[in-house]
Amino acid sequence: MTDVRATAVPTGAAGGPRPAPVRLGTRSLPRWAPLAALAVGALVAGAVMLVTGFSLVGFLVVTALVLVVVLVGASRAVEGGRKATDRLVTCLVTGAFLLALIPLVSVTWTVVSRGATRFDVQFFTYSMRGVVGEGGGAYHAIMGTLIISALAAVISVPIGLLTAVYLVEYGRGSLARAITFLVDVMTGIPSIVAGLFAFALFSLFLGPGARLGIMGSVALSVLMIPLVVRSTEEMLKLVPNELREASYALGVPKWLTIVKVVLRTSVAGIATGVTLAIARVIGETAPLLVTVGSTATVNLNPFEGRMAALPVFSYFSVTQPGSNPEFSVDRAWTAALTLVILVMLFNLLARVISKVFSPKAR
């Protein structure tokens, strides 16, 4: 006698057999597929270079093309057209990013390698007074750059801050639109125009032969003010209106609300914008060539005589190297490296200010 045992069959809502679950899934390339495609591209490029002659640019171009063709083709065969399109766009975006990095890395490497030759204590502690060939330094230019930039910040920050406060908190009508239009125009003016403006302004009072550090500060402030206005204006707009309304509800006047609530809330963004604006104008050369001139001695008084600045020092070291051009060119590269380091320090300072003074969320 055969023993027949009942087997439980899953039933659906209508009492019939429940359909087996369908597992949704698509085939995909393994994680090492891009590396394998890169290896194939390198092998093909190497073979092509053996036939046509080696060229680093050609090797990279052929490798990239073969990589894209192999990877996208394999993805279309295994994963389908949609995933293949995604991988194609990913390759294009990554290639554009790497292409944009090439000039940045090249410039950084060139400045660091060439500027390290004279990056010593003498360069930062000596001026060029009495120096003809080897030796000397850029102490006078470093101090001139810091003084001129500091005076430009003293001029630009109050004007830019108050202008931004007016545009956000008070500005209505044609006057506000006119100021906004002028700020937009000033943002795009060439730097040489700012230098010519400062030169013409001071020539009215001091004559056409005047060269002063304060003239360079005024020229840089013309470039810096629109940057401060724009960055401060955006930070003030980010302050929630609820904070203003709460202050008004307590009977606080508008000017005190701006000082105690609006500016305190946005102080991190404002300080960051100001720091980035200083980093933007600290390396300008054309305005300082017109207004400040150049000197080989230390002059720390921006209201008397010519002053040296790092961009101008680097420019004249290359264009007027004298009888020993190799030493002058080395000083020019070291001055350029010092400028890059200063700009980097200002950018790092902006990040620190933004992190320290930004409102803390609890």
Would the pLDDT of 352 be above 60? yes
Q: What percent of the chain has pLDDT over 70?
A: 91
- Model confidence pLDDT, tens digit, residues 21-79: 444 446 788 888 888 888 988 898 888 888 887 788 888 888 889 888 988 888 888 88
* Domain match, 229 and 91 both: no
* Domain match, 150 and 178 both: yes
* Domain match, 129 and 98 both: no
Domain presence at residue 8: no
In SS3 terms, the chain reads as: CCCCCCCCCCECCCCCECCCCCCCCCCCCCCCHHHHHHHHHHHHHHHHHHHHCCCHHHHHHHHHHHHHHHHHHHHHHHCCHHHHHHHHHHHHHHHHHHHHHHHHHHHHHHHHHHHHHHCCHHHHHCCCCCCCCCCCCCHHHHHHHHHHHHHHHHHHHHHHHHHHHHHHHHCCHHHHHHHHHHHHHHHCCCHHHHHHHHHHHHHHHHCCCCCCHHHHHHHHHHHHHHHHHHHHHHHHHCCCHHHHHHHHHCCCCHHHHHHHHHHHHCHHHHHHHHHHHHHHHCCCCHHHHHHCCCCCCCCCCCCCCCCCCHHHHHHHHHHCCCCCHHHHHHHHHHHHHHHHHHHHHHHHHHHHHHHHHCCCCC
Would the pLDDT of 271 be above 90? no
* Domain match, 70 and 210 both: no
- Model confidence pLDDT, tens digit, residues 105-143: 999 899 999 888 888 888 898 888 877 778 888 899 999
* Domain match, 142 and 206 both: yes
Would the pLDDT of 2 be above 60? no
Would the pLDDT of 148 be above 90? yes
**pLDDT-based confidence at residue 157 (cuts at 50, 70, 90):** very high
Q: Which domain holds residue 326?
A: 124-357
* Domain match, 140 and 110 both: no
- Model confidence pLDDT, tens digit, residues 199-248: 999 988 888 888 899 999 999 999 999 999 999 999 999 888 898 899 99
Does this model's pTM top 0.85?
no
The CATH number of residue 263's host domain is: 1.10.3720.10
Mean per-residue pLDDT, 304-315: 89
pLDDT at 361: 56
Would the pLDDT of 307 be above 70? yes
**pLDDT-based confidence at residue 359 (cuts at 50, 70, 90):** low
pLDDT at 151: 94
- Number of structural domains (the chain) is 2
Domain limit, last residue, from 77, 101, 118: 118
